[in-house]
Structure 1
Amino acid sequence: MRLLHTSDWHLGQTLHNYDRTYEHECFLDWLEGTIVAEEADALLIAGDIFDNANPSSAAQRQLYRFLQRAKARTPHLQIVVIAGNHDSPGRLEAPGPLLEAHGTVVIGNVVRDREGAIDLERLVVPLRNKAGETKAWCLGIPFLRPGDVPRAKVEGDAYLNGIALLYNQAFELAQSRREAGQAILAMGHCHMVDGQSSVDSERRIVIGGTEALPASMFDPEIAYAALGHLHLAQRVGKKEHLRYSGSPLPLSFAEVGYQHQVLRIDLDGAVAKEVTPLLVPRAVDLLRVPGKPAPLAEVLAALESLELDDALPPQCRPYLEVRVLLDGPEPSLRAQVEAAIAGKPVRLAKIEPTRKTVASQDGADALTLDQLAQLQPDDIFRRLWQQRFGEDAPDEQLSAFNELMLPGDGESA
């Protein structure tokens, strides 16, 4: 049996206000073709399908159009979707009955009955091959909040222990159902111990100070764990069968060097025989100029020497992050950068200034409360400027500050 594992699509995401619908459409077209070419039996989507809990209608259409096309081209394909921390569980599950009629299972919530018992049945999904034979059981565990987990009767962190208990309960149910030669898989959207995060684009999962989960929560008999949340494709605890697929496209400039991929899992009976990365083509490049922050003159020279393909259509033009090392304020920074790239087929997404700061003088006299009370706003501005940049505030900056401090229209001085 062959599976494909993907996650963290973040449909509807913008990169510094640039729409990314085209890039997501390129990925979904590629994924649709890959499902056909690889003759996949099932597609596992491990959360963060949308970028926020209230996705646009365009983002939702993009998802449902893909699901419809993938099923049309591969009628036997099973699709299992779990909610991530960016997703609205209820919104994701709303079309569930319609999707299930076409072979797609969506698990957004952990449901309880009137007595408070968790409905484990809906978290355990049978996976079938092309012949319709059950070959594996999938534990579909969405992103878990404190109210989702059972109470474990052991000492320690209640949230961590509750997550481990829920996975164990679902595993025991799958184990009771499976027959000889059938595999048990797990899906989860979580942050595992030692997982490498993307600094700029991942929303931290922190609940009561708890974040990282141990790999030991997966039973040793689990053949493969398809994880979502971290955007860098990686193994958990150096184990081949515990994997993050990562996001299919870079969601911030911190991810420029990532090899975005979908993972192919080939099952041989109850074990994952082979896990193979399938690299996702990058539809639009992200450029960081220069590679490390540099003085403005060097940056402008590098921008002016950029050679890009003038034939690129607007939606294919690369995004640009400019990284500048400044000694002090540079009011005309953006204008100089824009002049350097004028006429070039590139989209300026971000200017990242790094300033050299000057430490405050040792032994400087502290102000008394009476002295502080006598300071005017411009006095504080001058002092902060001197502390930050080690020089007196320029006249034009003082003028701009004083203009901001003037009362607005209709106000008395």
Structure 2
Amino acid sequence: MKILHTSDWHLGRTLYGRSRQREFELFLDWLAELVESRGIEALIVSGDIFDTTTPSNASQRLYYRFLHRIALSSDSPCRHIIIVGGNHDSPSFLDAPKDLLRSFDVHVLGAVNGEPEEEVLVLRDANGEPEAVVCAVPYLRDRDIRTVEAGESMEDKNRKLIEGVARHYAEVARIAEERRQSLGCDIPVIATGHLFTAGGVKLEDDGVREIYVGSLARIGASAFPASLDYVALGHLHVPQRVGGEERLRYSGSPIPMGFGEARQRKLVLEVEFEGHVPKVTEVEVPCFQPLEKLAGSLDEVTAAIAVLRSAGSSAWLEIDYIGDQPASVVQEALEAAVEASLLEIRRIRNNRPLRQAMGQLDEDETLEQLDPEAVFERCLDVRKIDETLRPVLLESYREVLRSIHEDDVRAEEGGAG
């Protein structure tokens, strides 16, 4: 049985206000052709199908057109599609057509419902014989896996989150093993997951959120029972193994979500089994819209742009200008550098206003290296705020941060991810 593992499509995502609809369309067309050309029999999508809980009509059309082509086309060898919700997805939106889609062997699980048996599927071949058991585990929300107690510390919360995730996987693995034994055939058990693992790699500007608000919980490889022969993970956008294990894999996002992922090799993963041992083949996704991140003085950046122009590049550019020239001068020079080319500047970051506002002394210091409270304190320093006023202002600022955090928690509890 040939399985294709992908995740984190983020349909509908924009980049500094620029639509990426064409990229998503090209990717899904390429993916459908790949399924057909490589004889893929089961497609697994491990969460974050959409970028928001309220996807646009255009994003919905892409999604359903793709499912129609894969599930109903006579040219498609794919017998099963398994889709689980991620932290960006609306469980109710994904689940709304699940009964209809199931009749076409499209299995959708937007969120857990307290019945882990419903997450365990038996996939059958064209002759009706069992060929795999799948634990279709979506993003596990905080409320799904732990109870809140008054006065608990952050350490308590982290511990309970990690224990809750491990407990859920232990339960679905137990059910899957019982199903496998009842079938009387030695077939692989596959699981999905949408979470942040210990040691997982993320990049600047990739849009990957802390998955549990106000927590730094990381799930270790030990949370996934050994009886799970392959775990198709989503949430992190960099393709990677967990703990070096071949059976625990992130496919990563298929297109770069931000300039932090520029020039990153994007993959989908083809999985076949030799007994219970997964054989994983990395399939590189074409680059549908190149991104380039340039940094340096005005002369250095314009020289880099000239090289891209001479190569006929159509890249979108993010530019980190390092220098003291006024922003208007920098912008005018850079716009002239790309004029009449295929290049497009999406963002110019000028460190001059930042240095003026923050009073930075370290040449290498950036805003991203400072936490929100440190930024506020730096502003108080630069503006020489009287020491007697600082405690009141700092506490007011902390109250604003707490309010933002509470809004995030409410969004999380409402399924906004």
- Which category describes the TM-score, using the shorter chain as reference length? 0.7 to 0.9
In structure 1, C-alpha distance between the alignment counterparts of 2:55 and 2:383, rounded to whole Å:
54
Q: Deviations over 1:261-316 (max 9, x none)?
A: 100000233332x1010001111111223xxx211232223324532576x9xxxx
* Residue aligned with 2:29, SS: helix
* Residue aligned with 1:300, SS: helix
Change (3 A) 1:342 1:214: same
Q: Is the 8 A contact 1:76 1:130 kept in 2?
A: no
Change (3 A) 1:184 1:306: closer
Alignment of 1:10-29 (within 5 A): 10-29=10-29
Q: Deviations over 1:135-169 (max 9, x none)?
A: 111111111112212669xx982221111111111
1:281 alignment partner in structure 2: 286
* Residue aligned with 1:240, SS: strand
1:104, CA displacement in angstroms? 0.3
One-letter amino acid matched to 2:143: G
Q: Is there any run of 5+ residues in structure 2 with no aligned partner, and where? A: 149-155, 362-377, 391-417
Alignment of 1:150-299 (within 5 A): 157-178=159-180, 179-200=184-205, 201-272=207-278, 274-289=279-294, 293-299=295-301
Q: Is the 8 A contact 1:41 1:130 kept in 2?
A: no
1:92, CA displacement in angstroms? 0.9
Q: Is the 8 A contact 2:43 2:82 kept in 1?
A: yes
One-letter amino acid matched to 2:19: D
1:54 alignment partner in structure 2: 54
Q: Which has the higher strand share?
A: 1
Change (3 A) 1:337 1:365: closer
TM, length-normalised to structure 1: 0.80
In structure 2, C-alpha distance between the alignment counterparts of 1:35 and 1:305, rounded to whole Å:
37
In structure 2, C-alpha distance between the alignment counterparts of 1:230 and 1:8, rounded to whole Å:
8
2:76 alignment partner in structure 1: 74
The answer to which of 92-101 and 74-83 deviates more is 74-83
1:122 alignment partner in structure 2: 118
In structure 1, C-alpha distance between the alignment counterparts of 2:240 and 2:247, rounded to whole Å:
11
1:381 alignment partner in structure 2: none
2:138 alignment partner in structure 1: 142
In structure 2, C-alpha distance between the alignment counterparts of 1:245 and 1:46, rounded to whole Å:
9
Change (3 A) 1:132 1:301: same
Q: Is the 8 A contact 2:39 2:78 kept in 1?
A: no
In structure 1, C-alpha distance between the alignment counterparts of 2:382 and 2:237, rounded to whole Å:
46
One-letter amino acid matched to 2:197: M
Q: Deviations over 1:1-48 (max 9, x none)?
A: 110000000001111111111111111111111111111110000000
In structure 1, C-alpha distance between the alignment counterparts of 2:79 and 2:383, rounded to whole Å:
73
Change (3 A) 1:250 1:371: closer
Q: Is the 8 A contact 2:177 2:227 kept in 1?
A: no
* Residue aligned with 1:307, SS: helix
Change (3 A) 1:67 1:365: closer
1:326, CA displacement in angstroms? 1.7
Larger radius of gyration: 1
TM, length-normalised to structure 2: 0.79
In structure 2, C-alpha distance between the alignment counterparts of 1:5 and 1:168, rounded to whole Å:
22
1:198, CA displacement in angstroms? 2.2
1:90 alignment partner in structure 2: 92
One-letter amino acid matched to 2:79: L
1:322 alignment partner in structure 2: 319
In structure 1, C-alpha distance between the alignment counterparts of 2:17 and 2:214, rounded to whole Å:
32
* Residue aligned with 1:193, SS: coil
Q: Deviations over 1:330-370 (max 9, x none)?
A: 3332222111211111221111223465539xx99977579
Q: Which has the higher helix share?
A: 2
How many residues get paired?
353
**Which of these residues, 341, 344, 352, is aligned with residue 344 of structure 1?**
341
Q: Is the 8 A contact 2:123 2:131 kept in 1?
A: yes
1:84, CA displacement in angstroms? 0.4
* Residue aligned with 2:92, SS: helix
Q: Deviations over 1:393-412 (max 9, x none)?
A: xxxxxxxxxxxxxxxxxxxx
Q: Is there any run of 5+ residues in structure 1 with no aligned partner, and where? A: 112-117, 373-413
Q: Deviations over 1:356-391 (max 9, x none)?
A: 65539xx9997757999xxxxxxxxxxxxxxxxxxx
